[in-house]
Chains A and B, each alone.
Chain A
Amino acid sequence: MKVNENKIYDPAIECMDRAELQKRQLEGLQKTVRLVYDRVPLYRERMDALGVKPEDIKTLADITKLPFTNKTDLRDEFPFGLLAADKKDIVRIQGSSGTTGKPIVSGYTENDVEVWTEMVARSLTAAGGGKDDIVQVTYGYGLFTGGLGAHQGATRIGAMTVPMSSGNTQRQLMMMHDLGATMLCCTPSYAIFLGESLREMGYDPAEFQLKSGCFGAEPWTEEMRDKIEELFDINAYNIYGLTEIAGPGVAYECPAKQGMHICEDHVIAEILDPETGEPLPYGERGELVFTTITKTGMPMIRYRTHDLCTITVEKCSCGRTHARMGRILGRTDDMLIIRGVNVFPSQIETVLLRVAGVAPHYQLIVDRVNSTDTLEVQVELTEEMFSDTVADVERIRDEIKEGIKSVVGIAAQIKLVPPKSIQRSEGKAKRTIDKRGLTENK
């Protein structure tokens, strides 16, 4: 494996004394709380209901006085209800899937794009990136934050940026080979797929210049890291983020590969007991909750990610002082990440309701075949959906398939199954079966 030197994009910030960092965090928190209280009706209502005023935030610990924000709030306030800035000051919209048919969007001011760009620049630098690099961005470009986020970060560090976007494996490998890309940004499962395809297509891995990559947008394992590192002879780094907070780069790995440093000068991270909402001590596994402290477009107060992980503030061997989060160990809700796309069973339900008239029992079976995620949706037939002609049954199946494609954005295999054939526990159907083994079973 190629050795990565320990490069730091902004040592003054990334290696800042924690007491100093916390001072900055408190200032940022106070400013943000004041901003949203003054400008976002939802936050003001909720704070008033709890009897909290911006001036009540005197210490970082006072953050627990503030109300939570959920993904459903972004859906309910879609598209601009949570903006703290004037619409004319928003320069970018990014989005991701919501829990039902409607996407959620986040508005970025120029400042917010800058904050995000800085986060990705830190991530890429930590992965060894710099002016001499050629960064191939194989995340999708569009509302999804992966492509543009990596693009901005790569441009910021002065790298030669190759905006490939996702798909077309043959072309990806050809460009990677011919341009001599040194860094790759994509989902870890696609990285494995590329690595395996490279050999199948007759390339000699020695002809590639790749040295490292930032992989994220879906949960992955140490085994997958080993595999990517072996396939390409590179260092593979984990990168984490979410549209609601910024995008990729909210947290990123350094060469120590011992957890992802959270950009704590831009966000405050908490770990909470998902049941009670009470804070848990560092090191304990709980739900990750973020508050943005530098964003001005759509700041987030105590945003519940539903991701389960641990956080440590122990000093890292790389010299960075920012807290590190471990790999995502699971979810507190039923969200699945399939080929980097967030999928909620409720979205599938929306489609079934529309196509079948009623919401039949269904189950999502996610697996990984040849390094690619597969989604099979099993749908129990109702009398209304079943007919004696093949064409009618196939039409229902195809409508479900197309509905899922348009609402969720990924292709699924639809399997119509007989009534009551999907296993139920306590009368309730288990909505998802994930066979990929990426997260702990709940």
Chain B
Amino acid sequence: MYITQISVYLENDHGTLRTLTKTLAEANIDMLGMSIADTANFGIARIVVREADFNGAITALINAGFMARKNQVLCAAVPNKPAGLDSVLAVIEENGIFIEYMYSFNYNLDGNALMILRLSSKDMDEEAIAKLLTDNGVKLVSQDAVNAL
């Protein structure tokens, strides 16, 4: 149910992001989606790539001196129309689930926008959260579907 995302620690220095994109470019990695969390002191880049690129991307980033690791996130297919995202967040909110962060990425899957969701809950594990969303009509996208983008 979950898909894999690559997270990269970014120092707040001039040129850090360029080094990241250059590293991935040279490793011929196709980024499907990306978001950056920035704070006053550091940033975290979250990158979605196809499964075939996981190891290539991680290796290239680590060799370039980055701290990079994989982690699991949900990818929801959100109806591409008004209230589409709201209906998904309604399920999350009404069930006491927290959103650590979320971002959309620039692909259209059968008329749906794709949304990465990093969720947490005090009393549900990851599988329970995913099941609850599915049970409530949220369409989750598999790693295979992401690979096929």
Contact = CB atoms under 8 A, between A and B. Distances in A.
Partners in one complex: yes
Interface of A: 381, 383, 386-391, 393-394, 397, 415-421
Given A416-B9, A417-B11, A386 B42 contact: no
Contact of A390 (B44, B66, B67): B44
B118 A418 contact: no
Nearest to B64: A418
Contacts of A387: 7, 71
Contacts of A421: 65
Given A394-B39, A419-B62, 6 more contacts: A383-B67, A387-B71, A388-B44, A390-B39, A391-B100, A416-B42
A415 B41 contact: yes
B101 interface: yes
B79 to A, nearest CB: 26
The size class of the interface chain B forms with chain A is: 20 to 34
Interface string B65-98: 1110101010000000000000000000000000
Interface in B90-137: 100-101, 118
Nearest to A383: B69
26 contacts: A381-B67, A386-B9, A387-B71, A388-B5, A388-B69, A388-B71, A388-B73, A389-B37, A389-B100, A389-B118, A390-B37, A390-B39, A390-B44, A391-B100, A393-B9, A393-B42, A393-B44, A397-B41, A415-B41, A417-B11, A418-B9, A418-B65, A418-B67, A419-B65, A420-B65, A421-B65
Given A383-B69, A386-B67, A390-B39, A418 B100 contact: no
Contacts of B118: 388-389
B7 A418 contact: no
B39 A418 contact: no
Nearest to A421: B65
A389 B116 CA distance: 13
Nearest to B45: A388
Contacts, number: 47
Nearest to A394: B39
Nearest to B42: A416
Q: Which of A381, A390, A394 has the most CB of B within 10 A?
A: A390
Which secondary structure dominates chain A's binding surface? loop
A221 to B, nearest CB: 32
A386 B58 CA distance: 14
B16 to A, nearest CB: 9
A417 to B, nearest CB: 6
Nearest to B71: A388
A441 B101 CA distance: 47
A288 B30 CA distance: 63
A383 B73 CA distance: 18
Given A394-B39, A417-B11, A389 B101 contact: yes
B38 to A, nearest CB: 9
Contacts of B42: 393, 416
Contacts of A394: 39
